[in-house]
Amino acid sequence: MTNTLQMTRRTMLTGAAVAGALTPILIVNSSAHAEEVMAANAPRKAPAADLAKLQREKVELVKPPFVHSHSQKAEGGPKIKEFTLTIQEKKMVLDKDGTEVNAMTFDGSVPGPLMVVHQDDYVELTLVNPETNTMQHNIDFHAATGGLGGGALTVVNPGESTVLRFKATKAGVFVYHCAPPGMVPWHVTSGMNGAIMVLPREGLTDGHGKPLVYDKIYYVGEQDFYIPRDENGKFKKYDSPGEAYEDTLAVMRTLTPTHVVFNGAVGALTGENAMTAKVGETVLIVHSQANRDTRPHLIGGHGEYVWATGKFANVPDIDQETWFIPGGTAGAALYTFAQPGIYAYVNHNLIEAFELGAAAHFKVTGDWNDDLMTSVKSPSAS
């Protein structure tokens, strides 16, 4: 077993495993590669002396659906926001049947944590790939400009770390994901994605000057998984990501996921894990899907203000029943709960919601308003 694991680690790093699908481009020295790309992009603006004048703020990330504390309006001038993401390769259980995936994650969760900054802040990310991992990784920020979204500058082998800084020039919510050469879809569909929210410095508005403020924020990351089956139709289990690669790739190429889930597993945001609110509270729901299109819907509620493609410079749509988020995009919806009860929040491809797992719950407390809805006649025989 030791020799097998060593071979898996070595061959995955050199690109010889994965059935010959990878090329020698995987054999890169990340530091040298980063220097070459940076040199090619010179001259660079924002001299170190100017950046040295900016206030630094270290942010402690939290596991979704929760989001780290932040101000909705920027306080003072642009800052350098410091984040750290540690890559974890780990087994995760997807459903009550014990189906496993050899997940690749940022900070151990699917999705990775939501980061929040303000427009014109600088994001300074330390990306750590522990020696205990077996794979090469990096990070591509859809919010960033240049260098494959940072992917060209952040390729790290096990035992390495790197620091990337970029200026958040566009306001909105954006996907980030792993994008190593030759292995992008495998890493993304193994769970290695998350989102960053870049708030306008003045905070959210309705696009016509009215401020929009939220009492709570939740982050829902929708994930499609492709788990191989054996000859009897049972989901297979593997010792390592490398061992699962060929079989997983075959399922991926069918474009038919076996699981479509919120926050890493079927039922991860239901029951005791349901998101909570009170009648009268305004909730911002950030929803990302790094690979496939999705159609979020709040059963019994609405998207009162919706940025379906997540870009806050655009005027939001109002009073939406279902909104469309293209694959590779994060969206945002704002709703003030008006009635108590359990609200199902689903991908309104109902097959994916009810059969594959793309469903969550909001548990809302408060007083019922008969004017909004009431039972005129209880179900009974006529």
Residues classed as catalytic: 137, 140, 142, 177-178, 187, 192, 297, 321-322, 348
Check: CB of residue 319 under 8 Å from CB of residue 302: yes
**Nearest alpha carbon to residue 266 among 177, 365, 347:** 347
Ramachandran angles phi, psi of 189, nearest 5°: -80, 0
Check: CB of residue 316 under 8 Å from CB of residue 305: yes
Query: What ranges in 220-357 are assigned the alpha helix state H?
Result: 241-252, 350-351
Triad 196, 202, 204: Cα angle to 5°: 60
List, in sequence order, every residue forming a beta bridge with 129; answer none if it has no partner: 160
Check: CB of residue 221 under 8 Å from CB of residue 64: yes
Integer Rg of the chain from CA? 22
- Say how far apart CA 212 and CA 235 lie, in whole Å: 46
Triad 22, 246, 110: Cα angle to 5°: 90
Triad 282, 286, 292: Cα angle to 5°: 145
